[in-house]
């Protein structure tokens, strides 16, 4: 952060931040919004907000945690905005995201993996966010709590409920 505060090195420092944090932020956002183009848009918004907010960043939390918080909020905001813009009822959001998953030509999913991803898409937004952070990013509950502003106990319950829902959906018919 010292480098960012040096006016002569601000752009360079921000470039380093972008390079370091793009891969994990991209993964999180992509799992939330599914579409690669939408992911790029949300990620761009995350870094715009970070650029604007970095001069006031108090360093109460780690930079990565702060960026994950921005990415989480931007992902959920994007999903809600898209839902309102496309007039997608909450019940149809899963169908909409599954269609995006089906149309994703960049990834060729095996049947089991596709069913698993579809089960994750059936979760409510915040529960899906917590599941993705814990399962894919291997974050601790304490890290997720700092990012989401939710208590560790509530996160543990949310993750447990999410895993039970996913397990139920993956049971053979």
Which pair of structure tokens corresponds to residue 18? Answer: 């972008």
C-alpha span between 15 and 4 (Å, rounded): 10
C-alpha span between 86 and 49 (Å, rounded): 25
pLDDT above 60: residue 106: no
User: Mean pLDDT, to the nearest integer, of 59-88?
Assistant: 85
Comparison of pLDDT for 102 and 23, the residue scoring more: 23
User: Count of CB atoms within 10 A of residue 120's CB?
Assistant: 22
Residue 92, domain CATH: 1.10.1740.10
User: Mean pLDDT, to the nearest integer, of 50-78?
Assistant: 90
- Could you read off the pLDDT of 26-46 as tens digits, one per residue? 999 999 998 899 999 999 999
Which pair of structure tokens corresponds to residue 15? Answer: 């470039």
User: Mean pLDDT, to the nearest integer, of 126-149?
Assistant: 95
Q: What pLDDT was estimated at residue 9?
A: 72
3-state secondary structure of 159: helix
- State how many domains the chain has: 1
User: Mean pLDDT, to the nearest integer, of 91-104?
Assistant: 60
C-alpha span between 46 and 71 (Å, rounded): 6
Q: What pLDDT was estimated at residue 164?
A: 95
pLDDT above 70: residue 140: yes
Identify the CA nearest to 93 among candidates 153, 19, 34, 23.
Answer: 34
Q: What pLDDT was estimated at residue 1?
A: 53
pTM beyond 0.85: no
pLDDT above 90: residue 131: yes
pLDDT above 60: residue 7: yes
User: Mean pLDDT, to the nearest integer, of 5-14?
Assistant: 75
Comparison of pLDDT for 97 and 34, the residue scoring more: 34
Tell me the residue range of the domain where 110 lies.
2-170
């Amino acid at each position: 952060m010292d480098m960012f505060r040096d006016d002569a090195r601000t752009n360079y420092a921000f470039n380093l931040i972008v390079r370091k944090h793009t891969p994990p932020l991209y993964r999180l956002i992509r799992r939330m919004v599914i579409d690669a183009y939408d992911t790029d848009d949300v990620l761009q918004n995350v870094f715009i907000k970070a650029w604007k907010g970095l001069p006031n960043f108090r360093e109460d939390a780690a930079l990565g945690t702060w960026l994950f918080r921005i990415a989480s909020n931007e992902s959920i905001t994007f999903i809600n905005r898209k839902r309102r813009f496309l007039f997608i009822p909450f019940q149809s959001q899963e169908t909409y995201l599954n269609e995006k998953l089906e149309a994703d030509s960049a990834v060729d999913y095996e049947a089991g993996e596709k069913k698993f991803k579809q089960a994750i898409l059936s979760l409510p937004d915040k529960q899906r966010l917590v599941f993705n952070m814990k399962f894919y990013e291997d974050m601790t509950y304490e890290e997720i709590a700092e990012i989401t502003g939710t208590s560790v106990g509530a996160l543990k319950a949310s993750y447990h409920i999410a895993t039970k829902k996913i397990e139920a959906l993956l049971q053979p018919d």
